[in-house]
Amino acid sequence: MTQIKDLEQLAPNTAIAEMVLGVKAVYPPKSPKAPYNLVVFDSTGESRLAAWSDVDLSDYKGGRITVRSTAGKRGLDGLNVVYSEYNKRNELKLGKAGQIFNDAELQLQGGSTGPSPAVTSKSPIAGPNGGSGVAPYNASAITPKAFIFQNAQLMVEAINAAQWVAKQVEAITPDHLQAIASSLYISAERAGMARQFPQAEKKAETKVTAPAKKDDEDDLGW
């Protein structure tokens, strides 16, 4: 799943499939057409989320939210990366095509959440079973070359999956295709999927076939 620290690696307008965030503060719209401004965070950092919503988001302060893009004919849209000229960094924008839920609303939608204690500005966002949901990575247990090879295989699978998604919709732009592949890769990488791949390419085994013995030959070939 995409985390806040990943935002700087994504191009502006990149669509993000889903994020789970804590809400530190909520500022109401300054005009009828303006968005809510939420200060959001996870275990990797803090950012601003501009959310266009027809309902009051003030009660989300101090809780945990799930924000999502939705799939349309042109690919994912709704939760996007936006570059802030004021803050000189990438931030988040949730448009009308996006979705936002707190834990209680997500359960009503049929989603699954873990225990939801009050979230503070110093609290990491826990996975379903607590912690990040991923076993800690032991850097000493794998070589850099093996680590890169595993991630390269995961990237290939993400690109193939994005191309499959493209075949399911009528039209999709190269930018949307790249965004889908990036979101799939980041989500899978955060879930530890890269470690499921081999650490090195298997070399084809060459079998040596012994010459057939003639009926009148013994083991010495006489």
Clarify whether residues 49 and 103 are in a common domain. Answer: yes
Clarify whether residues 146 and 67 are in a common domain. Answer: no
Q: pLDDT tens across 143-191, in order? A: 878 878 888 888 898 889 888 888 887 777 777 778 788 878 777 776 6
Nearest to 170 by CA among 70, 69, 80, 71: 71
Is 45 part of a structural domain of the chain? yes
* DSSP 3-state of 102: strand
* DSSP 3-state of 93: strand
Confidence band, pLDDT 50/70/90 cuts, at residue 72: confident
Clarify whether residues 33 and 96 are in a common domain. Answer: yes
- CATH code of the domain containing 11: 2.40.50.140
What domain range is 190 assigned to? 139-196
Is 122 part of a structural domain of the chain? no
Is 52 part of a structural domain of the chain? yes
Clarify whether residues 16 and 60 are in a common domain. Answer: yes
Confidence band, pLDDT 50/70/90 cuts, at residue 197: confident
Q: Tell me how far apart the alpha carbons of residues 76 and 178 are, in angstroms, rounded to a whole number.
A: 11
Is 214 part of a structural domain of the chain? no
Clarify whether residues 104 and 48 are in a common domain. Answer: yes
Clarify whether residues 90 and 146 are in a common domain. Answer: no
Clarify whether residues 100 and 153 are in a common domain. Answer: no
Is 115 part of a structural domain of the chain? no
Confidence band, pLDDT 50/70/90 cuts, at residue 222: very low
Q: What is this structure's pTM?
A: 0.54
Q: Tokens representing 81?
A: 């990366």
Assess contact for 41 and 62: CB atoms under 8 A: no
Nearest to 37 by CA among 46, 45, 22, 26: 26
Clarify whether residues 104 and 8 are in a common domain. Answer: yes
DSSP alpha helices (H): ranges in 21-130? 103-108
Nearest to 116 by CA among 126, 108, 124: 126
Is 47 part of a structural domain of the chain? yes
Is 222 part of a structural domain of the chain? no
Is 88 part of a structural domain of the chain? yes
Q: Tokens representing 39?
A: 């200060």
Assess contact for 152 and 159: CB atoms under 8 A: no
Q: Which amino acid is at 52?
A: W
Instruction: Please report how the helices 144-167 and 174-190 are oriented relative to each other, as an axis angle in degrees rounded to 10.
Output: 130
The tally of domains found in the chain comes to: 2
Confidence band, pLDDT 50/70/90 cuts, at residue 50: very high
